[in-house]
Amino acid sequence: MPRGKAAKLWGVCVPDLPGKNAIEVRGVRKVFGAGEAQIAALDSVSVSIRENEFFTLLGPSGCGKTTLLRLIAGFDFPSEGEILLYGDDIAPLPPFKRPVNTVFQSYALFPHMTVAENIGFGLEMLGKPKAEIGARVAAMLKLVKMEQLAKRRTSQISGGQQQRVALARALAPQPKVLLLDEPLSALDYKLRKEMQIELKRLQNETGITFIFVTHDQEEALAMSDRIAVMSSGKILQVGSPWDIYDRPAVRFVADFIGETNFLDAEVVSVSGDRATVKLSSGSAIKATFPAGTMPAGKVTIVVRPEHAEVMPAGARAPVLGGIIENIVYLGTDTHFHVKLADGPPFIVRQQNSKSGPCGFDKGENVGIEISSDVAQILKD
Amino acid sequence: MASAAELAKTRARRDVRNRWLLSAPALLIILLAATGPLLIVLVYSFLAPGAYGDVKWQFSTDAWVSVLLERDIFDDTLSIADAHLSIFWRSVKLALGTTLLTLLFGFPTAYFIATRPERMREVWLFLITIPFWTNLLIRTFAVLEIIRNEGVVNKVLLATGVVEQPVQMLFTDFAIMVGMVYVYLPLMVLPLYASMEKLDFRLIEAGYDLYATRFKVLRRIIFPLVKPGVIAGSILVFIPSLGAYVTPSILGGGKNLMLGNLIELQFGQGRNWPLGAALSITLMAVVMVALLAYVRNAGDSEVRHG
């Protein structure tokens, strides 16, 4: 019963309730520098990360996601606020007293040790008996499929293998939470795809809470149970990949993740969780809006390119109308860059379900149909 | 027209010739300034002393015998030369002590400099090298001024009432050690800094993350990785300390001799050049044995770690 043992070891009480929080960040602020040159890397950040969750911090570089990870690991200390691990404030503890391990972006493997020594280092520092360390290292090597390379120096193995060793090293002491700081960014595309699946498998097998930092939205969507989108030291939205992609709350989230179309609209009426908005073309459509808000007046709505469809002008009364400015053929699908009748550009992505040309030409007048229930009203 | 193979051969020959030409000045200096004089010293150590210094050109092993043994004036028997042995022992002891102390002071200093922002590192390194600009004699006299009985330290101790009588620090082994640590500290800091600068500090974070305390991070991660610097610094400090001459003669007051002083004595007042030559070569041998032992030991632990 590894969890119970860990609990005794660390003296942290772990109640066995479903859906409890592994990490709770409460009103954390982190300021670097002093006086005039002060920079707030994190500004009143609060977020709860559930047990056994694959949680991703997503955002552009400099958004504070790595800072938040370093605060949880203990390499930096928050200027304000608290960080709870299963209910206990760990913010003042040094990193070597936190049952939390990190997989570093650079892997940070010890070059003067072998693969096996690297993996066993954490256990050795915890004062585990030799036999237990040996068994655990062997199990870890098996878990990351590196049994053959146990005696190698870390400089004698490839980048992908180093990645696996870094993972095994961080998992070996059975941390309560595993922190991953853009661990896949140094790998090439194919290896990255493989490791994404591998990471998901490891998380399922070990049942450890993963906190994953990345700037790659595709990676975040593919792996996460929940995603927190960050920008300028703030968390803008937390939700499932579907929430984040299909129901973005603010413009930054909609813009950062995937391609999207922004349209001006005016709220006509609200009933339940749907609002009816009038577009500048005159047509009215239904749109969803972020929970806890009450849309009114002039708003911006977003429509994903794949949720719209191009059709010959005049076939039916379309929602929008415009002229095709450009057609980009991408193999699996085709992008239509349409200039709407009242000015703004609009992108439609259509899957190439049939072979052959798409049947539209540049400069052609077309109508754009938007499927029901896909438009989302933004908060800002 | 020359074939490609011939061209390549000519080029290779020219490369070899150029290599010799380019290394000629260095080789010449080594031959004239190092190997040659060393051979003269070796030859002199097997000759007999002249009456007014210099050597008599006749083969003799007396000098080598008296390195460790002394002949009784009356009955001509040989016994262990206690005076020489105690000087050997003091030299090794003081040199080892100096090496350890410079390591103790130099390690945190180098670590401090290596962890500063890039621009500040240059400033700190500059400060470390400032003592090099001053003459060794002047620096040694400065130490003397601080630790002599009427010096700064004793004045402060007397004024604050910590001691009644001035503490005798000058003309002791302690004084020699203080002087040598002060003089040789930069020689330890610079190679240590050079290897610490290359240290990936993310490895230290990784160590902390894997439950290593500060001391364990130092012992298991920092120390093994900067070991080349530790070895280089120790060698750079140990060798000149073992043969130190100026510092022990000023701060030791001629009472506490070290090997360097003993050698000087033989070439000067002692008028026994062959013995001086034999002692010089003995000093070199001691240094070489120490170096070999050190490097062998360092190499071993390297293998053990990986």
Helices B173-197 and B82-114: crossing angle in degrees, nearest 10, is 40
Phi-psi sector, B253: left (phi>0), alpha (psi -120 to 50), beta:
left
Contact: B202, A113; criterion CB under 8 Å: no
Taking contacts as CB-CB distances below 8 angstroms, the residues of chain B near A74 are 208-209
Q: State how far the Cα of A69 lies from the Cα of A65, in Å rounded to an integer.
A: 6
Contact: B208, A74; criterion CB under 8 Å: yes
Contact: A125, B202; criterion CB under 8 Å: no
Pick from A100, A108, A122: CB nearest B205:
A108
Taking contacts as CB-CB distances below 8 angstroms, the residues of chain A near B199 are none
**Distances in Å between the alpha carbon of B16 and those of B8, B121, B170?**
12, 42, 57
Q: Please name the helix (run of DSSP H) or strand (run of DSSP E) that holds residue A288, with its range, or none.
A: strand A284-288
Both structure tokens of A42: 């994190």
Summarised one tens digit per residue, pLDDT across range A235-290 is 999 999 999 999 999 999 999 988 899 998 989 888 888 888 888 888 888 888 88
Give the DSSP per-residue string, A292-315.
T----SEEEEEE-GGGEEEEETTS
Both structure tokens of B49: 């002393």
CATH 1.10.357.140 fits A259-377, yes or no: no
Pick from A73, A109, A153: CB nearest B306:
A153
The mean pLDDT value of chain B amounts to 88
Note the pLDDT of residue B95. 94
Give the DSSP per-residue string, A56-120.
EEE--TTSSHHHHHHHHHTSS--SEEEEEETTEE-TTS-GGGSSEEEE-TT----TTSBHHHHHH
Cβ(A53)–Cβ(A226) below 8 Å: yes
Shortest Cα–Cα distance, B121 to chain A (Å): 19
**Which residues of chain A have a Cβ shorter than 8 Å from any chain B Cβ?**
73-75, 94-97, 100-102, 104, 106, 108-114, 117, 121-122, 125-126, 153, 169-170, 173
Residue A10 banded pLDDT, cuts 50, 70, 90: very low
Contact: A173, B210; criterion CB under 8 Å: yes
ipTM of the complex: 0.80
Q: State how far the Cα of A157 lies from the Cα of A163, in Å rounded to an integer.
A: 10
Both structure tokens of B270: 């002692």
Q: Under DSSP, is residue A346 helix (H, G, I), strand (E, B) or coil?
A: strand
Long-range contacts of A241-244 (CB under 8 A, 24+ apart): A244/A58, A244/A220
In chain A, whose CA is at the least distance from the CA of B302? A112
Pick from A75, A94, A112: CB nearest B306:
A112
Cβ(B114)–Cβ(B197) below 8 Å: yes
Mutation target vs A (from B211, B215, B219; most A CBs, 10 A cutoff): B211
What is the greatest pairwise CA distance in chain B? 95
Note the pLDDT of residue A19. 61
Contact: A96, B212; criterion CB under 8 Å: yes
Pick from B205, B213, B224: CB nearest A112:
B224
* CATH topology assigned to domain A2-99+175-246: Rossmann fold (3.40.50)
Q: Name every residue whose Cβ is closer than 8 Å to that of residue B280 and which is 6 or more positions away in sequence.
A: B41, B45, B263
Domains of chain A, residue spans: 2-99+175-246, 259-377
Phi-psi sector, A208: left (phi>0), alpha (psi -120 to 50), beta:
beta
Both structure tokens of A323: 């002229």
Residue A322 banded pLDDT, cuts 50, 70, 90: confident
Shortest Cα–Cα distance, B53 to chain A (Å): 56
Query: Which letter, b or e, does each residue of B133-165 get, where b requires 16 or more Cβ atoms within 10 Å of its Cβ?
Result: eeeeeebbeebbeebbeebeebeeebeeeeeee
Taking contacts as CB-CB distances below 8 angstroms, the residues of chain A near B225 are 111-112
Both structure tokens of B94: 């003081």
Q: What is the pLDDT along chain B (306 residues), one digit of tens a residue?
A: 567 888 888 888 888 888 889 999 999 999 999 899 999 999 999 999 888 878 888 898 888 988 888 777 777 778 888 888 888 898 999 999 999 999 999 999 999 999 999 999 999 999 998 888 888 899 999 999 999 888 888 899 998 988 888 888 888 889 999 999 999 999 999 999 999 999 998 999 999 999 999 999 999 999 999 998 998 999 999 999 998 988 999 998 877 888 889 899 898 888 889 999 999 999 999 888 888 887 777 665 544 443
- Give residue for tokens 């007396």: B62
Long-range contacts of A203-206 (CB under 8 A, 24+ apart): A203/A54, A205/A143, A206/A143, A206/A171, A206/A174
Q: How many CB pairs under 8 A join A and B?
A: 66
Query: Has residue A314 got a pLDDT over 80?
Result: no
Give the percent of chain A with pLDDT over 90: 52
Taking contacts as CB-CB distances below 8 angstroms, the residues of chain B near A121 are 207, 210, 212, 220
Q: Of A61, A20, A292, A88, whose CA–CA distance to A185 is shortest?
A: A61
Note the pLDDT of residue B299. 60
Contact: A106, B200; criterion CB under 8 Å: yes
In chain A, whose CA is at the least distance from the CA of B227? A112
Query: Has residue A15 got a pLDDT over 70?
Result: no
CA atoms within a 13 Å half-sphere pointing along the CA-CB vector of A255: 12
Taking contacts as CB-CB distances below 8 angstroms, the residues of chain A near B206 are 102, 104, 108-110
**Distances in Å between the alpha carbon of B142 and those of B131, B135, B151?**
12, 11, 10
- Cα dihedral angle (B211, B215, B218, B221), rounded to 10 degrees? -30
Cβ(B245)–Cβ(B257) below 8 Å: no
- Cα dihedral angle (B261, B264, B268, B269), rounded to 10 degrees? 30
Summarised one tens digit per residue, pLDDT across range B75-110 is 777 888 888 888 889 899 999 999 999 999 999 999
Give the DSSP per-residue string, chain B.
---HHHHHHHHHHHHHHHHHHHHHHHHHHIIIIIIHHHHHHHHHTTEEEPTTSSEEEEE--HHHHHHHEEE-TTT--EEE-HHHHHHHHHHHHHHHHHHHHHHHHHHHHHHHHHTS-HHHHHHHHHHHHGGGGS-HHHHHHHHHHHHSTTSHHHHHHHHTTS-SS----TTSHHHHHHHHHHHHHHHHHHHHHHHHHTS-HHHHHHHHHTT--HHHHIIIIIHHHHHHHHHHHHHHHHHHHHT--HHHHHHSTTTS--HHHHHHHHHTTT--HHHHHHHHHHHHHHHHHHHHHHHHHHHHHHHHH-
Contact: B211, A75; criterion CB under 8 Å: no
Query: Has residue A16 got a pLDDT over 70?
Result: no
Summarised one tens digit per residue, pLDDT across range B163-196 is 888 888 888 889 999 999 999 999 999 999 999 9
Shortest Cα–Cα distance, A27 to chain B (Å): 24
